[in-house]
Each structure stands twice: as structure tokens, then as C-alpha cells.
Structure 1
Amino acid sequence: MALYLALAVYGDLDALRSVLGAFPWRILPLVLGLTLVNYAGRLLKWILYLRWLDAGVGARDAARIFGLGMTMVLTPGKAGELLKSWMVKRLSGTPISRTAPAVVAERLTDGLAMLILSVLGLLAFDLPELRTTALVVLALMLAGIVAVWIQPLADWGLGLAERLPVVGPRAHLLHELYRSSYVLLRPPALLTAVGIGLVSWTCEGLAYYLVLTGVGAEAGLATAGKAIFIFSISTIVGAVVATPGGLGGTEGGLVSLGMRLLGLAKPSATAAALLARLATLWFGVALGLVCMSLWPELLAGAED
């Protein structure tokens, strides 16, 4: 909350209050609807991943697990989302080592989708610092994917790990992790997941676009394109910062790029950032809390 108070002070409290007072709240349901499309796409990907891994969990339970997992986005780097693998194990007995790569692959393919959505903006605008960040993130992602694809390289690395005193007794877990990673990162599966991600994150970028028009940005395709770019690259920055939910990094990117690329005044850019995060991050957390209240037995491992 201190972050948002600081943002409000930065945006000039009185001016910010004026912008929010003039915001057309009637568009909020449409903004939330676009966010829900994003969540639906990510849920579809999660269901497909569990199916491809033979996790023994049906679509209904996968959806419930996904819903509870949305509360974990507030953990640093979203590492708490590994709780989803724990819930899968409690329901079906599938080892965590088999489904944990699904959580990582979700984040990886989301990141690739957002990088693709950011490409034109990075080429069109003079943003060398963001271009460098994007290139580093892309290089790390591609290196990880290629390492999984090259089975002899993976076998060599696993063989080395088996010789380590601490890792050796648990080498079977590493082999399980690798097998699942290979299944999820094969080209057909990877392309499917990234394709879903492109649709999902485009919708979230359009939600931000609607918010921008509500605080005074000019409506049109150019603004929509910039909005998708700004939201995507700011989310990547938030992931690199690795704070809970990308707090600070994402908001900072939304405010600074909103002013720089869209010519928004500081109060308008700040209001847009606050509203966008309310309709995306915090809306998701709220949905997760609702799911937690509906199905608390999932956290205890009990089934209906």
C-alpha cells in the first residue's frame, strides 16, 4: 500500500482525485471483461499442460486449482504459484516434480508472448534501456528452451548432477522435471502456448487502452498499439524486478511510458497505472480469494 500512496503523492493528490472523479466508470465492466479473457486463456493453457503431462486432474479441478493459485501472484517472482503443483499432488497423487515445470512454462510462454507484443514498440521508439532488458530476458528464455530441446546436453547435465553428494540421491526428481519440461517445450506445445498468450495479453493490453481513453488519451489504433506495448514491456520489467506481483516495476513503467509515449500529464498517467493494476493484478487476487473461500479443502488436500 505504501507504493500506491507514493504513486498518489507523485501524481499530485488533488489532480489525481480530479482525474479519477472524471473517469467514465461505466467502461469498467468492459475493462474487467477483457481481463477475464486473459485469465480464461491462461486457464486454458494450464488445463492443456496438465493434460499433456497426464497429471490425472480433470478440467474442473484444474480450474479450481488455477483460481486458488491466483492469490499467489503476490509472492516474489510469483514463486508461490508452485502451490498449484502441490494441490495437484494432493488431489491426484501426481508428483510435484512432474507438474512444477507447468508453472514455469506458464510464466515462460507468457513472457515470450509479451516480448513478441513489445517488438514493434522496441524498434519504433528510442528506448535503449528497455531494449537491453528485453534482449537479456529473451536470450535467457531461448537459452533455457534450447537447453531442454538438446537432449544429449540435458543428459550430460543430469549426469553431472547425479555425481553431486547432495543432489545425487534426488536425481530421479531432476529426471522427472526434465521429462515434463521437454513435453511442454516441444515446438508444437510451445507454439500453442505462446499463441494463447498472444491473445491473452493483447486483451489485457486493450483493457489498459480503455483505461487510457478514460483518463484523456486519444482513442484510435495508434494509441491501442502503444497501450499494448506499454503494458507488455512494463509487465516484463515487473517480472525482472521480481517483487511481489511485479509491484513497483510495472507501475513505474506504466507511468513513465504513458507520459513519454502518449504525452499524458503526470496525474493522468498515474491514474491510468493505478486503475489498470486494480483491474488486472488486484482483480485477479480478489478472484483468487473468492476461489479460496469456495474451495478451502483444496489447500487441505481434501476432495469433494
Structure 2
Amino acid sequence: MARLILRPWASWFLPSLYPGYNLPMSSDLRRKLVLSLGGALLLYIALTLWSDVNEVRDAVAAFPWQWLPLVIGLTLVNYGLRVLRWHWWLARVGVTISRWDSARIFGVGMLMVMTPGKVGELLKSYMIKNLTHVPMSATAPVIVAERIIDGIAMLLLASVGLIAFPDPTARVVAAILLAGFVTGIVVIQIRPLALKLLGLAHHVPIVSRFSDSLLRVYESSYLIFRPKPLLWALLIGAVSWGSEGLAYGVVLAGFGAPLGWELFLTAIFIFNISTVIGAVVALPGGLGGFEGSAVFWATRLFALSRGAATAAALVVRFCTLWLGVAIGFASFLLWHELLAGAEAAQSKAVLPETAASSPAEGKS
């Protein structure tokens, strides 16, 4: 029994010990994941030393750990909603696959958040291809759209969180941002206008280098960005990422922030804006960007000590990012054959004829 449990772990980290047991992951990807884990450990050690080890230790010791199940539960709400949205999106682009299989693929994909820029998540398209024979080009737009819509949802939540700020200027900024998001959603729905603006992007410095990629994403994701699916996806994104923001609020309360609706609105702002900053930094899992932003805002908005703010950032990261990575790693050990395509012949999933048509030919 011990051998059955330990062998996959050992063969993943030390494949030379088991030359006959080859998990289907490239050595390059394996190396990136191990480096990401090592980098995270060094970052957390450095952050703890910078914040004062004794302060962090005392804050952690005083934390009400009986609240931890609530924090984890709110995180699982996020994962559950995103799994449902993932399956719904696959159906939108014409992939017929069981909920169980799409959930397994999503689970394995959670490990890939530790690749730079989350590019490893494109392996979800590879796993779908192995199970269903659907070309990766048909499902890759779903992964791209998932990132875009999650980003929009986070920025929306951050804007709503600004309402809790005592400074009236913050409310004005929130109103402007919300108006900008609404305008952007409307523009996306008016196809000729959206294409014209994407064409003009060729002449805008900095943006021009991404204009062709933006056009391809818009064209290939047209079905997903139609009004009804877009609004549903945004709603699910807002609720799912809002639940993790609430989890951060619970953690902050445990480290001394005063309870109240202002706490949770502000926590939603901090969590989501920090996640966006982490995504912009493009390091695996947003490492460094999230933690630095969260500590900065928590010390200024809640007057927490640097040690308490650091402890709060570490606790919420272990209950969100690292919980997801653990689920992803467990999923990989259980269902790594998805990456090898061993189940493709047994799958009954097919690509309907409608999926072969242009995304623009679909209906909302």
C-alpha cells in the first residue's frame, strides 16, 4: 500500500528512480513546476523575514483556526462554480463530454496555474482532444475566454470594493470603472464596431503588438462573448471570485480587522486587485505580485501590523492558490492518463457538426 501511494510522488519528482513508470508530463513542464514551488518557498521565507519572524509567528498563533473550514468552504464554492461554467462553455462550442470527464480535466488543469502566465492550462485542450478527438483549436478559445472573463470579473469586483473606501474620490473612480466595463461589454456585442476598434489597435503603440492576437481571440470566442453567455459567465465569475474575496475577509477578521460590511467589501477589493496584479506580473500563480499587494493594502486600510498582514496573505494563499494546486496535483496523480490519451478510444464524446462551423455562425 505504501509503495502504491509513494511511487507516483517519487516518480514525479525523481523520475530516474522509476524508469518504467513515466507520467505523461514533459521534463520541461515538470522542471517549471518544481522551480515554481521552490521559488514560492523562497519568496515566503523572504517575506516572513522582512515582516519580522516573531510578529508573523505571534499573529499565526493568535489566529482562530476554527474559522479555517469557512475559509476553505468559500474557496471550494469558487472551484465548484468554475467547474460548472467550464462544462457549460464546452457545450457552447459543441463539445459533448460528461460532467465527470470535464471536471477531471478541470482538476488536472488546476496544477497548471503554477506555470508562467498559466500557459500550462492549455493542456486542458490537449486532454479534451485525447478524450473526444475534438481539435485543440476548437477548445483553446474557451481557456483564453475563461482568463479574460475572470479578469473582467475581478476588476468589476475591485471596482465595487472601492465603494467601501471613505474617500469620495474612490467612489468616483469606481463609478467610472463600472461605466467603462459596461461600455466595453456593449462594444463587444456590436460586431462591426468591435472589429473596427480591433483594426485601429494596429496603430496604437504598445497595443499594436497584441492586436492580431486580440482579433483571433475575438473571432474564435465569438460564441462565448455573445450577450447571454457573456453575462452568465461574468455573473458566475463575480460570484466565484467574490467568494474568495469573502474568504480573505474572514482571514483578515481573524488577524484583527474589524468585522462589518466595509471589511468584506474592502477585502473583495484587495483580493481581486491583488490577483490581477499577480496576473500582470505573470509569475507562476501570481507569486510576489499578490502577496506584495495584499500586504500593502492590508497595512494601510486596516492598520494591521506588517507581521499580521503578511500572515493573513500567507493563510489566504494556502487556502486558495495552494489548495487549488494540491487538488490539481492529486487529480494529476489519479488521472494522469488523460494527458496520454489512454481513454480516447473508450470515450463516447463526439464533436457535433455545428462545432465545425465558424463561431460567428452560432446563435446566442
**Counterparts of residues 63-142 of structure 1 (less than 5 Å):** 63-122=103-162, 124=165
Structure 2: state its 5+ residue gaps: 1-40, 200-213, 347-364
CA distance 1:211–1:178, shift in 2 (3 Å): closer
- Give per-residue Cα distances to partners, 1:112-137, cap 9 Å, x unaligned: 111111114446477x9xx99xx99x
CA distance 1:142–1:290, shift in 2 (3 Å): farther
Alignment counterpart, residue 264 of structure 1, candidates 282, 301, 304 = 304
Alignment counterpart, residue 246 of structure 2, candidates 199, 206, 229 = 206
CA distance 1:153–1:235, shift in 2 (3 Å): closer
- Give per-residue Cα distances to partners, 1:64-114, cap 9 Å, x unaligned: 000000000011111111110111111101111111010011111111111
Amino acid at match of 1:297: E
Q: Supply the distance in 1 between the matched residues of 2:197 and 2:320 (Cα, whole angstroms).
A: 42
Q: Is the 8 A contact 2:188 2:225 kept in 1?
A: no
Q: CA shift at 1:152, angstroms?
A: 8.5
Count of residue correspondences: 289
Q: Is the 8 A contact 1:148 1:154 kept in 2?
A: no
State the identity as a percent. Answer: 50
Residue 232 (structure 2) pairs with residue 192 (structure 1): yes
Q: Supply the distance in 2 between the matched residues of 1:148 and 1:95 (Cα, whole angstroms).
A: 27
- Give per-residue Cα distances to partners, 1:140-199, cap 9 Å, x unaligned: 9987995685258759989xxxxxxxxxxxxxxx99966540001111111000000111
Residue 333 (structure 2) pairs with residue 293 (structure 1): yes
Alignment counterpart, residue 236 of structure 1, candidates 276, 280, 283 = 276
Q: Supply the distance in 2 between the matched residues of 1:98 and 1:145 (Cα, whole angstroms).
A: 25
* 1:150 corresponding residue in structure 2: 191
Residue 101 (structure 2) pairs with residue 61 (structure 1): yes
Structure 1: state its 5+ residue gaps: 159-173
Q: Supply the distance in 2 between the matched residues of 1:32 and 1:17 (Cα, whole angstroms).
A: 21
Alignment counterpart, residue 80 of structure 2, candidates 40, 51, 75 = 40
Q: Supply the distance in 2 between the matched residues of 1:140 and 1:75 (Cα, whole angstroms).
A: 29
TM-score normalised by structure 1 residue count: 0.85
CA radius of gyration, larger in: 2
Q: Is the 8 A contact 1:90 1:301 kept in 2?
A: yes
Q: Supply the distance in 1 between the matched residues of 2:243 and 2:263 (Cα, whole angstroms).
A: 14
Alignment counterpart, residue 63 of structure 2, candidates 14, 23, 26 = 23
Amino acid at match of 2:308: S
Q: CA shift at 1:57, angstroms?
A: 1.8
Q: Is the 8 A contact 1:110 1:197 kept in 2?
A: yes
Please tell me the root mean square deviation across aligned C-alpha atoms, in Å: 3.2
Q: Supply the distance in 2 between the matched residues of 1:145 and 1:301 (Cα, whole angstroms).
A: 41
Q: CA shift at 1:28, angstroms?
A: 1.0
Q: Is the 8 A contact 2:122 2:143 kept in 1?
A: yes
Amino acid at match of 1:199: V
Q: CA shift at 1:19, angstroms?
A: 0.8
TM-score normalised by structure 2 residue count: 0.71
Q: CA shift at 1:23, angstroms?
A: 1.2
* 1:275 corresponding residue in structure 2: 315
| Farther off after superposition, 255-264 or 112-121 | 112-121
* 1:166 corresponding residue in structure 2: none
Q: Secondary structure at the match of 1:46?
A: helix
Q: Is the 8 A contact 1:255 1:269 kept in 2?
A: yes
Q: Supply the distance in 2 between the matched residues of 1:99 and 1:89 (Cα, whole angstroms).
A: 9
Q: CA shift at 1:139, angstroms?
A: 7.8
Q: Secondary structure at the match of 1:183?
A: coil
Q: Supply the distance in 2 between the matched residues of 1:16 and 1:4 (Cα, whole angstroms).
A: 11
Q: Supply the distance in 2 between the matched residues of 1:108 and 1:141 (Cα, whole angstroms).
A: 15
Q: Secondary structure at the match of 1:77?
A: helix
Q: Which runs of 4+ in 1 moved over 6 A?
A: 138-145, 155-158, 174-177
Q: CA shift at 1:56, angstroms?
A: 2.5
